Amino acid sequence: MSINTKAYIEEYIKIRDKSGRIIDLKLNQGQLKLYEAIKKQRKEGKPVRIIILKARQIGFSTLTEAIIFKETATKFNINSGIITHKEEATTNLFNMSKRMYDNLPTVMQPDLKASNAKELVFDNKEGTGLKSKIKCMTAGSSGVGRSDTFNNLHISELAFWGDRAKETALGLFQAVPNLPNTMIVIESTANGYEYFKTLWDLAVRGKSDFIPIFVGWHEMEEYKMPYTGFKLTEKEKELQQIYGVTLEQLTWRRWCIQNNCAGDESQFIQEYPINPHEAFLSTGTCPFDKGAIINRLETIPKPLKVGYFKYNYDGMKITNIQWINDPNGSVKIYKIPNVPKQTKYCIGGDTAGDGSDYYTGHVLDAKTGDQVAVLKQQFDPDEYVKQMYCLGYYYLAQVVVDNEIIKEPALMAIEANFDSFPIKELTRLGYTNQYVREKVDTYTGQKEKRFGFKTTVLTRPTIISNLIEIVREHTDTINDEDTLQELLTIIRNEKGRIEAPEGGHDDQMMGLAIAHEARTQVTFNVVPIPKEMRFNFNIEKPVTADYGEEIQVI
Asked if residue 102 has pLDDT above 90, the reply is yes
Give how far Cα 219 sits from Cα of 132, 166, 279, 347, Å.
36, 31, 15, 41
Question: Greater confidence, 172 or 505?
Answer: 172
Task: Kindly indicate the confidence band of residue 534, based on its pLDDT and cuts at 50, 70 and 90.
Answer: very low
The most distant pair of C-alpha atoms in the chain lies apart, rounded to whole Å, by 99
Range of 254's domain? Answer: 219-281
The number of folded domains in the chain is 3
- Taking CA atoms, 253 is separated from 241, 243, 265, 267, 279, in Å, by 16, 14, 9, 12, 16
Are 176 and 184 spatial neighbours (Cβ–Cβ below 8 Å)? Answer: yes
Q: Give the confidence band of 529 by pLDDT, cuts at 50, 70, 90.
A: very low
Res 58 pLDDT > 80: yes
**Mean pLDDT in the chain?**
85
Q: Can you give the three-state secondary structure of 380-438, one letter per residue?
A: CHHHHHHHHHHHHHHCCEEEEECCEEEEECCEEEEECCCCCHHHHHHHHCCCCCECEEE
Residue 53 lies in a domain: yes
Q: Please indicate, yes or no, whether residues 65 and 189 belong to a single structural domain of this protein.
A: yes
Q: Which comes out higher in pLDDT, residue 144 or 153?
A: 153
Residue 483 resides in a domain: no
| Residue at a domain's end among 266, 281, 296 | 281
Are both 88 and 123 inside the same structural domain? Answer: yes
Residue 58 phi, psi dihedral angles, 5° rounding: -85, -35
Question: Three-state SS across 79-93?
Answer: EEEEEECCHHHHHHH
Q: Is 220 helix (H, G, I), strand (E, B) or coil?
A: coil
Q: Are residues 135 and 243 in the same domain?
A: no
What 3-state DSSP class applies to 30? helix
Q: Does residue 56 sit in the same domain as residue 187?
A: yes
pLDDT of residue 455: 85
Same domain, 252 and 208: no
Whether 516 contacts 470, CB under 8 Å: yes
Question: Do 187 and 236 lie in a common domain?
Answer: no
* Range in 14-23, 101-110, 339-348, 416-425 the model is least confident about: 339-348
Give CA separation, 143 vs 289, 384, 482, in Å. 42, 40, 34
Whether the per-residue pLDDT at 313 is higher than 60: the answer is yes
Instruction: Name the DSSP class of 474.
Output: -
| CATH, residue 150 | 3.40.50.300
% of the chain residues with pLDDT over 90: 55
**Confidence (pLDDT) at 147:** 78
Do residue 538 and residue 410 come from a single domain? yes
Shared-domain flag, residues 386 and 530: yes
What pLDDT is stored for residue 225 in this prediction? Answer: 96
pLDDT at 82: 95
Is residue 402 in a domain? yes
H/E run at residue 67: helix 60-73
Residue 545 has what pLDDT? 31
Q: What is the CATH number of the domain that holds 405?
A: 3.30.420
Task: Write the pLDDT tens digit of every residue in 114-127.
Answer: 666 689 999 988 88
515 lies in some domain: yes
Give per-residue pLDDT as tens, 464-478: 999 999 999 999 999
Same domain, 205 and 269: no
Coil, strand or helix at 299: coil
Segment 16-53, tens digit of pLDDT: 887 889 999 999 888 999 999 999 999 999 999 999 99
Query: Is pLDDT larger for residue 500 or for residue 102?
Result: 102
**Position 382 pLDDT exceeds 80:** yes
Residue 447 domain-assigned? yes
Question: Tell me, what's the pLDDT at 60?
Answer: 92
DSSP structural state of residue 520: G
Residue 539 pLDDT level (bands cut at 50, 70, 90): very low
Helix, coil or strand: residue 132: strand
Q: Is the model's pLDDT at 443 over the cut of 80?
A: no
> What order do you get walking across the sheet with 152-156 strand by strand?
119-122, 132-138, 79-84, 152-156, 183-188, 48-53, 211-214
Give the β-pairing of 436-440 and 359-365: unpaired
Rounded CA-CA distance 129/547 in Å is 61
Q: In this structure, is residue 264 part of a structural domain?
A: yes
In a domain, 332, yes or no: yes
Q: What is the sign of the dihedral through the CA atoms of 448, 454, 458 and 463?
A: positive
Residue 489 has pLDDT above 70, yes or no: yes
Check whether residue 121 and residue 138 sit in a common domain.
Answer: yes
Residues 28 and 110 both lie in one domain: yes
Q: How far is CA 147 from CA 143, 178, 206, 448, in A?
A: 8, 17, 30, 65
The whole-angstrom separation of Cα 310 and Cα 223 is: 53
Same structural domain, 258 and 377: no
Among the candidates 200, 215, 230, a domain finishes at 215
Closest to 337 measured CA to CA, from 306, 364, 376, 310: 364
Each residue's pLDDT tens digit, 62-90: 999 999 999 999 999 999 999 999 999 99
Q: Is residue 294 part of a domain?
A: no
